[in-house]
Chain A
Amino acid sequence: MWKRCYHWFNERFDLPKIQKPINDQLTKPLPGHISWFHTLGSMSFFLFISQVLTGILLLIYYHPTQKEAFESIKFITNEVYMGWLYRQIHAWGSNLMIIIVFLHMLRTFVTGSYKKPREITWILGVLLFVMTVIFGFTGYLLPWNQLAYWATTVGTEIAGAVPFFGEFLKTFLRGGTAVGGETLSRFFVIHVIILPWALFFIVIFHLFCVRYLGMSTMDKVGEEKKVKEGQGVPFFPHHVLKEGIVLFVLLGVLITLSVFSPFELGEKANPLQTPHAIKPEWYFLSMYQVLKHFPKSIGIFVLGLAPLFLLIWPFLDRTPQRHPSKRPVSMTIGILVVLSLVIFGVLGWVSETRIHVFGKTYDVDMYGKPHLVPAQTPPVQKDIAP
């Protein structure tokens, strides 16, 4: 049967000729230092596929209108067979994807893989990271709950602080003066049509670059030795096996989180009531916290510099060394950036909440500074709106 099929196709296409480049790619040896950290790229790709598939399933029952969006998500969660699971996998998948894509970028940074001749691979990678974050931002609004609505209001308001054309940008994103049905439609189109296709093509280009330029070795720029046949780690089956193991673990983590720590749907969006201490998603927290310390337009400028620096990083760091221990300046900058992301993120996380540490209660202000609450104060009663 298989033979007859092969024969049938072989009569129409020159199969050995097509097989050769595929085999070449499969048997291509990778540099010897390739480790578990080099599976983060394929993990990102796996998560993207998972997002596409669960996204398609969600699309079947989702209605992207102001009136029905919330109810349709409720329907998916409560009525449709396994609907809750697909929604949770999609939601958790997006969070994990941001973590994994970031770690992938971090690994590339540490091993100096962005250096010549792989600058374009890095630039495409940064674009993919930015797009992943925009995916998160646009997808967050779609359930049309209170948190989503107000996070989007604040998010687009920040876009409005861009000098000169900020006001235009804000109205353009919202499709009106306030976040509403038009905003939902716009974010929906960006989330399910524009971004997936754009990401798809950039991923192909990114992978092509990885394959065409070869995986980076730890040698100095310009002194890289080509990995010869029979040396290093064979792509198939050695590295593919590693990727397979990691993907199974990832799938396990994804489903475990989805089952045991589901995302709440919350209340339906109410354009007349902002919930107290509204905060963006965790991956925007550090940006959001930094923004509090600046007047709006300067804050935007500061935040705009970060992705710009990422994009042009290979052209700023022109030293030939790749090994992290031989790049003290790069590594210091990298560690400082990661540390500041974590610190500002945590400050953003605890800001405007009440925390309990060692039996004492603190009210944390918007800048993340704790203020001791005397023990005998009765709990603050929420004012009931008249």
Chain B
Amino acid sequence: MKEADMNRSGEKEISRRTFVDWVIKGGLLVALAGVLYPALSYLRPVMRRGAISEMEEVGGVNDIPVWGGKKVIIGGSAVLIIRTPDAFKAFSAVCTHLGCLVDWDGQKREIICPCHAGIFDLNGRNISGPPPRPLPVYTVSVINNKIFVKV
């Protein structure tokens, strides 16, 4: 520190020039942050999509035969609906391994992922292959012969 920056008692004293210098540098930094923050937030508007809590109609009861399956997209994510003799079941159709869409095999009564031979049972549990977790289960309701799924 230069001698001019010291006062008589030897304490540090900031000169006017240094002070203005810091104000300008600080101001620039704040301005930069002020520009950067909105720019970064701009990149993620779609990430704030809230959960869809409404029941979504996915078709009539007769669209799906017994032991048949159907895939629909609800709120941007794929859902697999399976009809058993006594109920409808709905699972996320996205394989928990690498995100491929699973298929319903009506003959073997298994949910099969086409990518790495992942197999799930009728309750969405991973029974074979690499998938690490069961498929998420969704609630299905049948009202007036129409199928509704809540994701």
Interface residue ranges, A against B (CB under 8 Å): 150, 153-154, 156-158, 160, 168, 171-172, 175-178, 180, 182, 271-278, 292, 295-296, 352, 365-366, 383, 385-386
Name the distance in Å between A365's Cβ and chain B's nearest Cβ.
Answer: 7
B91 adjacent to chain A (CB < 8 Å): no
Assess whether A274 is in contact with B47, with CB atoms less than 8 Å apart.
no
The minimal Cβ–Cβ distance linking B97 to chain A, given in whole angstroms, is: 8
B113 closest partner in A (C-beta): A274
Q: How far is the CB of A186 from chain B (nearest CB, A)?
A: 9
| 3 cross-chain pairs, A with B, having the tightest CB-CB distances, nearest first | A157-B99, A274-B100, A386-B68
Cβ–Cβ < 8 Å partners of A177 in chain B: 49, 75-77
A369 to nearest B CB, angstroms?
A: 12
Instruction: Check B117 against A296 for contact (C-beta < 8 Å).
Output: no
Residues of chain B with a CB closer than 8 A to A386's CB: 65, 68-69, 104, 106
Which listed residue (A153, A154, A180, A296) contacts B76, Cβ 8 A? Answer: A180
Task: Judge whether A383 and B107 touch: CB under 8 Å.
Answer: yes
Contact A272 B73 (CB under 8 A): yes
CB-CB < 8 A to B44: which residues of A? 171-172
Q: Does chain A have a CB within 8 A of B115?
A: yes
Q: A171-B47, A172-B43, A272-B78 are in contact. Are A385 and B73 (CB under 8 A)?
A: no
Q: Inside 8 A of A182's CB, which chain B residues have their CB? A: 46
Please tell me if the beta carbons of A178 and B76 are within 8 angstroms of each other in the complex. Answer: yes
Contact status B47-A154, CB under 8 Å: no
B47 near A172: Cβ-Cβ < 8 Å: yes
Q: List 6 A-B contacts (CB under 8 A).
A: A153-B100, A175-B46, A271-B78, A272-B72, A273-B101, A277-B114
Asked whether any CB of chain A lies closer than 8 Å to the CB of B60, the reply is no
Q: Which residue of A lies closest to B105 (CB)?
A: A383
Known A156-B99, A272-B72; further 9 A-B contacts with Cβ < 8 A: A150-B100, A160-B99, A273-B71, A275-B114, A278-B115, A292-B130, A352-B116, A366-B130, A383-B103
Chain B 61-81 interface 0/1 with A at a Cβ cutoff of 8 Å (1 = within): 000010011011101111000
A158, A178, A365: the one contacting B77 at CB < 8 Å is A178
Residue B142, interface by CB 8 Å: no
Q: How many angstroms from the CA of A156 to the CA of B98 in the assembled complex?
A: 9
Q: Write the chain A residue with the least CB distance to B129.
A: A366
Interface centre among A154, A295, A352 (most CB of B within 10 A): A154
Chain B positions within 8 Å of A171 at CB level: 44, 46-47
Assess whether A352 is in contact with B43, with CB atoms less than 8 Å apart.
no
B76 partner residues in chain A, CB cutoff 8 A? 176-178, 180
Chain B residues whose C-beta falls within 8 Å of the C-beta of A154 in the assembled complex: 98-100, 115
Given A172-B47, A274-B115: A295 and B101 interface contact (C-beta under 8 Å) = no
Chain A interface mostly helix, strand, loop or mixed? loop
Q: Is B132 an interface residue (CB 8 A)?
A: yes
| A277–B77 touching, CB < 8 Å | no
Chain A residue at minimum C-beta to C-beta distance from B83 = A386
By the criterion CB–CB under 8 Å, are A278 and B117 in contact?
no
* Known contacts A180-B76, A385-B103; A295 and B117 CB within 8 A of each other: no
Q: How far is the CA of A292 from the CA of B132 in the complex (A)?
A: 12
* Cβ contacts under 8 Å, A383 to chain B: 103, 105, 107
B116 contacts across to A, CB distance below 8 A: 292, 352, 366
Distance in angstroms from A267 CB to nearest chain B CB is: 15
Contact B132 A178 (CB under 8 A): no
Say whether A278 contacts B114, CB under 8 Å.
Answer: yes
Residues of B within 8 A of A271 (CB): 73, 78, 101
- Rounded to whole angstroms, the CA-CA distance of A168 and B102 in the bound complex is 24
Residues A158 and B98 in contact, CB atoms below 8 Å apart: yes
How far, in Å, is A297 (CB) from chain B's closest CB? Answer: 10
Q: In the complex, what residue of chain B is closest to A170 when comparing beta carbons?
A: B99
Asked whether, in the complex, the Cβ of B100 is within 8 Å of the Cβ of A278, the reply is yes
A220-B109 Cα distance, complex, nearest whole Å: 68
Asked whether A365 lies within 8 Å of B100 as measured between CB atoms, the reply is: no
Q: How far is the CA of A292 from the CA of B72 in the complex (A)?
A: 29
User: Which residues of chain A are near B75, meaning CB under 8 Å?
Assistant: 177
- Whether the Cβ atoms of A272 and B101 lie closer than 8 Å is yes
A178 to B79, CA, bound (A): 12
| Contact with B101, one of A168, A180, A274, A277 (Cβ below 8 angstroms) | A274
B117 touches A365 (CB 8 A): yes
A157 to B71 Cα, complex, angstroms:
20
Residues of A with C-beta under 8 A to B65? 386
Q: Smallest Cβ distance from B3 to chain A, in angstroms?
A: 42
Give the distance to chain A from B105, nearest Cβ to Cβ, in Å: 6
Chain B residue with the shortest CB-CB distance to A180? B76
Asked if A157 and B132 make an inter-chain contact with CB atoms under 8 angstroms apart, the answer reads no
What are the residues of chain A within 8 A of B43 when measuring CB–CB? 172
Closest to A158 in B: B98
Residue of A nearest to B103 (CB): A385
